[in-house]
Amino acid sequence: MKSTIKTNLFLVVLASLLSVSGASAAGLGNNIVVVLAGTGTAYDGAEKFAQLGLDPLGGATCFDMGLFDAKTGNRIGSGSDCLSLITPSDSDNGLAMVATTFFHFPGGTLVSRGQVSVQPVLHGSPEFTHVTGAVPGPDDNSVIYGDGKFEGAAGRVRLSGSVNMSALNTLGQIFFDCVFIIDL
């Protein structure tokens, strides 16, 4: 009985120390699910990349929006989706691109980069024009930067989303509703 109490107490103390130290966000199996949502207006992301010493891959068009906890729906920060190397598909009105996504959490910033496919919506909600997705390979590290509790983080970031690009050419805006699964 005393052994069980000591073991449980040790585990509680260990979990608390890891949480306070930020180690839980630095590669010990964290799974974070967030939503980037809202209307973003296009801007040149050169300065955003330069501030963190990151490569914009020949130029990046960025869009800022809210960052929300997928479970509660509460706003927990802000995010930026920055698009580079945009290549139209020859066969289906789709696009291939590289998305660099900045997640600004209260405890630090995490930046991921991945290959994204964008395809026209064939059925579903009329409020969206395209679906987006990015699935890293099993050995890929999608995290290219972290600070605060994310310093030194590595892991995979998966994207599944919907966007409305109907105002992109007229107002420079995209409405985003994108779910990110971040496995650190």
Per-residue pLDDT tens listing for the chain (184 residues): 444 333 233 323 333 333 333 333 333 348 999 999 999 999 999 999 999 999 999 999 999 999 999 999 999 999 999 999 999 988 888 899 999 999 999 999 999 999 999 999 998 888 999 999 999 988 899 999 999 999 999 999 999 999 999 999 999 999 999 999 999 9
Q: Compute the distance between CA of residue 136 and CA of residue 149 in angstroms, rounded to an integer.
A: 23
Helix or strand (DSSP H, E) at 178: strand 173-183
Considering the domain 30-183 in this protein, what is its CATH number? 2.40.480
Q: Compute the distance between CA of residue 58 and CA of residue 159 in angstroms, rounded to an integer.
A: 23
Q: Is the pTM of this model over 0.95?
A: no
Place of tokens 């050995």: 139
Which bin fits 45, alpha (ψ -120 to 50), beta or left (φ > 0)?
alpha
Residues whose CB is less than 8 angstroms from the CB of residue 112 and which lie 6 or more positions away in sequence, other chains included: 100, 101, 103, 142, 143, 144, 157, 180, 182
Spacing of C-alpha 143 from chain mean position? 9
Give alpha helix (H) positions in 117-172.
Answer: 168-171
Tokens (6 digits) for 48 = 């955003």
Residues whose CB is less than 8 angstroms from the CB of residue 146 and which lie 6 or more positions away in sequence, other chains included: 26, 108, 109, 110, 111, 152, 153
